[in-house]
């Protein structure tokens, strides 16, 4: 273990006194509590290669168990009552690891773990916020579609001259008013006389309109 590596661990222990866990001289992990509602926890595992910081550190990121809030924090969370919550996926973790590796490569030649951990925390919090916004937008879209369908039930089909004429033709056909029934003696039955009277009445009402 180099002096530079030892100094970096000492600095990290002063910055993260409760979050850092030392596993060996060259290996440790840092538990990151994200500023999210509810609180999410990420664990950053770090191992120093022999030539670090001339080479990038070996990094891994894991999703931790949901952190238990203090009584005061629990009361605050209860007041906020988020409509949506999100759990990080393996693809989210892969995205964070890629960003961490890029930052490590940008800082070759100097201790970089603090910069890497800070980037992971900021990126994870932004990712969480973006995922929640996506969920909210998707929900709003669902509600808009449901509302549109509900309103459509009450709008019905607009009546036009063409649609009324089509309905009238169909109705007269169903009632048999346009069918000419021949009688052997050329006379109409009582039912036919009644139906013809109804038809003439309907035609007169249309003419008056």
Kindly list the structural domains of the chain, giving each domain's residue range(s) and its CATH number in brackets, ordered by start.
3-149 (3.10.110.10), 161-208 (no CATH)
Q: Residue 144: CB partners within 8 Å, gap ≥ 6?
A: none
Question: How confident is the model at residue 209, as a pLDDT?
Answer: 53
DSSP assignment of 120-153:
HHHHHHHHHHHHHHHHHHHHHHHHHHHHHHHHHH
> Across the chain, which distance is largest between two alpha carbons, in Å?
125
Would you say 15 and 118 are in contact if contact means Cβ atoms under 8 Å apart?
Answer: no
Q: What distance in Å separates the CA atoms of residue 75 and residue 27, rounded to the nearest whole number? A: 37
Q: Residue 164: CB partners within 8 Å, gap ≥ 6?
A: none
**What does pTM read for this prediction?**
0.66
Cis check for the bond before 72: say yes or no (omega within 30 of 0). no
- 52-56, 70-74, 96-100: least confident range: 70-74
Q: If you count them, how many residues does the chain have?
A: 209
pLDDT digits (tens, 9 = 90+) for 105-137: 999 999 999 999 999 999 999 999 999 999 999
């Amino acid at each position: 273990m180099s002096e530079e590596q030892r100094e970096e661990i000492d600095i990290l222990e002063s910055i993260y006194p409760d979050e850092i866990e030392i596993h060996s001289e060259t290996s440790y992990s840092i538990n990151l509590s994200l500023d999210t509602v509810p609180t999410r926890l990420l664990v950053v595992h770090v191992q120093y290669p022999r030539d670090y910081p001339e080479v990038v550190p070996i990094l891994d990121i894991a999703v931790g168990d949901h952190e238990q809030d203090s009584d005061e924090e629990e009361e605050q969370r209860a007041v906020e009552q988020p409509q949506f919550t999100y759990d990080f996926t393996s693809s989210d973790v892969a995205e964070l690891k890629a960003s961490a590796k890029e930052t490590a490569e940008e800082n070759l030649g100097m201790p970089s773990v603090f910069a890497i951990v800070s980037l992971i925390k900021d990126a994870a919090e932004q990712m969480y916020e973006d995922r929640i916004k996506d969920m909210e937008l998707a929900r709003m879209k669902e509600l808009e579609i449901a509302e549109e369908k509900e309103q459509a039930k009450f709008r019905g089909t607009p009546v036009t001259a063409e649609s009324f004429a089509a309905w009238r033709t169909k109705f007269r056909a169903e009632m048999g008013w346009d069918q000419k029934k021949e009688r052997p003696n050329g006379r109409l039955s009582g039912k036919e006389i009644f139906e013809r009277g109804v038809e003439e009445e309907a035609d007169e009402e249309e003419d008056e309109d």
